[in-house]
């Protein structure tokens, strides 16, 4: 890909003929994916399709059985994964902490790459200011001192987005971010994701979901997975069609898009 200035941009994420085998079974096979700066990919498919396994590869949390995975220009197997992960933002609503941390503390753990605050580690005043700004940008300015146990699921999701952003990642991974949210909280979260993509135009992202309704309007590309293989991949409007999504889920579906958002209904 070439930018308007004529410079060539390297992929942020590249999977080349990736296969992942566990106990003699292929969880993924013949997976190719290239994600560039400013692209926002969705991985969609039924349970067991391989979405979570693929996100593990994208997040440098595991190695493929065969093929190559290159994240931020570093090939897995030839790089310190712990260092690489500090440049990847990961939003997982199942995030667990031992301590009942405040929103501000949760955001700051994005700098240490830990689930909880680190003993004897102290953020600088600039880092605290940045964490405060990020919390405000996701609608949590009034909840900085709120404890994790008192936050709604939607507030937790937004706090985790701020946590992922504080290390200025080039790649943001969202693992079913709307899990457990009611309709209002989901819409608030998706608006937050759309806004951060505008505020950070060079960031690339990969979102895993079962539901097309959970995709932000800013989604640019999509990959449909089934039984560990690719059904289709490319521009979102070319991939998220009634025919292709029905094939991925082995169920007759009618896909529509209104005001940038997708919906799936049983086809009659």
Q: What is the pLDDT of residues 228-254, one digit of tens each?
A: 999 999 999 999 999 999 999 999 999
Q: How far apart are CA 20 and CA 26, in angstroms?
A: 6
DSSP-assigned beta bridge partners for residue 90:
173
- Verify that 153 and 220 share a domain, yes or no: no
255 backbone dihedrals φ, ψ, rounded to 5°: -105, 130
Q: Assess if residue 30 is contained within a domain.
A: yes
Instruction: Say if residue 139 is in the same domain as residue 232.
Output: no
146, 167, 188 — which closes off a domain?
167
In a domain, 92, yes or no: no
- Give mean pLDDT, residues 1-19: 71
Q: Are residues 126 and 192 in the same domain?
A: no
Among candidate residues 167, 183, 207, the one where a domain is terminated: 167
Q: Please say whether the dihedral angle defined by the alpha carbons of residues 91, 93, 98 and 99, taken in this order, is positive or negative.
A: positive
Whether residue 105 lies inside any domain: the answer is: yes
- pLDDT attached to residue 31: 97
Tell me: do 178 and 235 sit in the same domain.
yes
How many domains does the chain contain in total? 2
- pLDDT band for position 135 (50/70/90)? very high
3-state secondary structure (DSSP) of residue 110: helix
Cβ count near 87 (within 10 Å): 16
Q: Same domain for 116 and 223?
A: no
The confidence score (pLDDT) of residue 7 equals 37
Tokens describing residue 56:
């593990």
Residue 31 exposed, middle or buried by CB count within 10 Å (0-12, 13-18, 19+):
buried
C-alpha distance from residue 194 to each of 117, 161, 183 (Å): 29, 12, 17
Higher pLDDT, 268 or 29: 29
Q: Do 131 and 68 share a domain, yes or no?
A: no
Same domain, 9 and 26: yes
* pLDDT computed for residue 144 by the predictor: 95
**Element (H or E) spanning 225, and its range?**
strand 221-226
User: Torsions phi, psi of 220, nearest 5?
Assistant: -105, -35
Which of 38-47, 106-115, 162-171 has the weakest average pLDDT? 106-115
Residue 39, Cα to own-chain centre: how many angstroms? 12
Encode pLDDT of 95-117 as tens digits: 888 889 999 999 999 888 778 88
- Give the separation between CA 108 and CA 172, rounded to whole angstroms: 17
Domain coverage including residue 154: 97-167
Same structural domain, 149 and 162? yes
CATH number of the domain where residue 215 is located:
3.40.50.300
pLDDT on residue 100: 92
* Dihedral, CA of residue 19, residue 59, residue 148 and residue 123, to nearest 10: 160
Which among 167, 198, 217 is the end of a domain?
Answer: 167
The position carrying tokens 């493929």 is 64
Residues 74, 84 contacting (CB under 8 angstroms):
yes
Residue 225's beta-bridge partner residues? 230
Give the position of tokens 């290239």. Answer: 34
What is the structure's pLDDT at 94?
Answer: 80
Q: Within this chain, do residues 129 and 199 fall inside the same structural domain, yes or no?
A: no
Same domain for 59 and 105? no
Do 78 and 162 have their domain in common? no
pLDDT one-digit tens code per residue, 57-98: 999 888 899 999 999 999 988 887 777 888 899 898 888 888
Return mean pLDDT, the chain: 90
What integer pLDDT is reported at residue 181 of this predicted model?
A: 87
- Considering the entire predicted model, what is its pTM? 0.89
Residue 196 to residue 137: CA distance in whole angstroms: 8
pLDDT for 210:
87
Question: Is residue 55 located within the same domain as residue 83?
Answer: yes
Residue 198 DSSP one-character state: H
Is residue 187 a part of any domain in this protein? yes
């Amino acid at each position: 890909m070439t930018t308007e200035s004529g410079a060539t941009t390297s992929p942020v994420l590249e999977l080349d003929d990736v296969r992942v085998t566990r106990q003699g079974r292929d969880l993924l096979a013949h997976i190719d994916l290239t994600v560039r700066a400013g692209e926002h990919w969705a991985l969609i498919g039924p349970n067991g399709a391989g979405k979570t396994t693929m996100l593990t590869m994208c997040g440098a949390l595991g190695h493929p059985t065969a093929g190559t995975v290159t994240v931020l220009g570093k090939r897995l197997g030839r790089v310190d994964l712990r260092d690489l992960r500090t440049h990847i933002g990961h939003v997982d609503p199942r995030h667990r902490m031992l301590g009942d941390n405040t929103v501000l503390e949760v955001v700051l753990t994005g700098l240490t790459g830990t689930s909880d605050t680190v003993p004897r580690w102290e953020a600088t005043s600039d880092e605290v200011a940045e964490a405060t700004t990020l919390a405000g940008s996701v609608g949590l300015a009034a909840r900085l001192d709120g404890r994790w146990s008192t936050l709604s699921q939607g507030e937790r999701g937004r706090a985790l987005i701020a946590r992922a952003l504080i290390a200025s990642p080039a790649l943001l991974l969202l693992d079913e971010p709307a899990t457990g949210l009611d309709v209002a909280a989901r819409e608030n979260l998706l608006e937050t994701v759309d806004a951060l993509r505008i505020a950070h135009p060079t960031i690339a992202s990969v979102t895993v979901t079962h539901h097309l309704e959970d995709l932000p309007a800013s989604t640019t590309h999509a990959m449909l997975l089934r039984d560990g293989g690719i059904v289709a991949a490319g521009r979102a409007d070319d991939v998220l069609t009634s025919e292709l999504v029905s094939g991925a889920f082995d169920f007759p579906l009618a896909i529509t898009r209104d005001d940038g958002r997708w919906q799936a209904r049983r086809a009659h």
